[in-house]
Amino acid sequence: MQIIRDIATLHRAVTALKQGGKSVALVPTMGALHDGHLSLVRMGRRVADHVVVSIFVNPTQFGPNEDYAAYPRDEARDAALLAQDGVGLLWAPDVGIMYPAGHSTHIEVAELGADYCGAARPGHFDGVATVVAKLFNQVRPDVAIFGEKDWQQLAIIRRMARDLDFALDILGAPIARDPDGLALSSRNAYLTQDQRAAATAFPGALKAAAAAIASGADVGESLAKAEAAIVAGGFDSVDYVALADANSLERLAACRAPARLLAAARIGKTRLIDNYPVG
């Protein structure tokens, strides 16, 4: 597997991969890879001839009091996992390559980025959209794969690709979970043993609420019950538990298809997100 850190070498390598009409799938990540990321890689191998993975901990999507400095980084381990999984090229630019001095252009995400994680993390989705647009231009993939774990992010990327006429397909990959239901996340590494044990309450409450709503229970009551169960399970606070239109992300007071239950909650210093389909 080639590990590439500058744009000219990247362009040459991608051009070589594409020779003979071969297709390229891009899987953007921030590293600290787990089976969720690797499931995206496997999807990439199914849909394209070559898989390019990017690892870049993007400073512009972290708020000033967030975990940019503490975010887990272990490129050697990540590279070994990717090589084992048949990835041909790892794109691992440093911050100075991604944002050279004087970098001053960014993408602003309007309505889709306003609520949910966007409300709790101002500027987050502008940072995500900007770096993903740059990754699309740098790698020029035929398809890019994102996890449904970050449902709002996936909706925003799909919209951005449409709005800005990126000529590639965006695919969503199902959420990979631990056996007790907790969605895999690089941030699970922050959890103490007790917090990790308690964290199962989060997917448990969401799954129960999604099932209740699908079978006709009152939406407001179901959301309130889920919030209470998350806090009773050991979480310190709930950022949001909401029923949303799965595509437009509009909040729904009554269930109509396609709907998605979206949530974020905090346990200790860790903020976890998750979502479930409804019906």
Residue 19 exposed, middle or buried by CB count within 10 Å (0-12, 13-18, 19+): exposed
* Binding of residue 132 to ligand AMP (CB under 6 A): no
Q: Are strands 169-173 and 237-245 parallel, antiparallel or unpaired?
A: unpaired
* Binding of residue 219 to ligand AMP (CB under 6 A): no
Q: Which residue in 99, 116, 125, 146 binds ligand AMP (CB under 6 A)?
A: 146
* Binding of residue 222 to ligand AMP (CB under 6 A): no
* Binding of residue 124 to ligand AMP (CB under 6 A): no
Q: Helix, strand, or coil here: 171?
A: strand
Q: Which residue in 4, 14, 26, 29 binds ligand AMP (CB under 6 A)?
A: 29
Min separation Cβ 22 and ligand AMP, Å:
23
Q: Which of 37, 50, 103, 106 is catalytic?
A: 37
* Binding of residue 150 to ligand AMP (CB under 6 A): yes
* Binding of residue 185 to ligand AMP (CB under 6 A): yes
CA distances from 129 to 140, 225, 246, 262 (A): 16, 33, 19, 20
Q: Which residue in 118, 141, 147, 203 binds ligand AMP (CB under 6 A)?
A: 147
Residues 6+ apart with CB under 8 A from 255: 213, 214, 219, 243, 278, 279
Q: Which residue in 4, 24, 26, 36 binds ligand AMP (CB under 6 A)?
A: 36
Q: Which stretch binds ligand AMP (CB under 6 A): 6-14, 37-45, 189-197, 225-233?
A: 37-45
For 16-83, the DSSP string reads HHHGGG--EEEEEE-SS--HHHHHHHHHHHHHSSEEEEEE---GGGS-TTSSTTTS---HHHHHHHHH
Instruction: Measure the CA–CA gap between 197 and 178, rounded to whole angstroms.
Output: 12
| Residue 11 falls in the annotated catalytic set | no
Residues that bind ligand AMP (CB under 6 A): 29-30, 36-37, 39-40, 146-147, 149-150, 173, 175-176, 183-186
Q: Which residues are catalytic?
A: 37
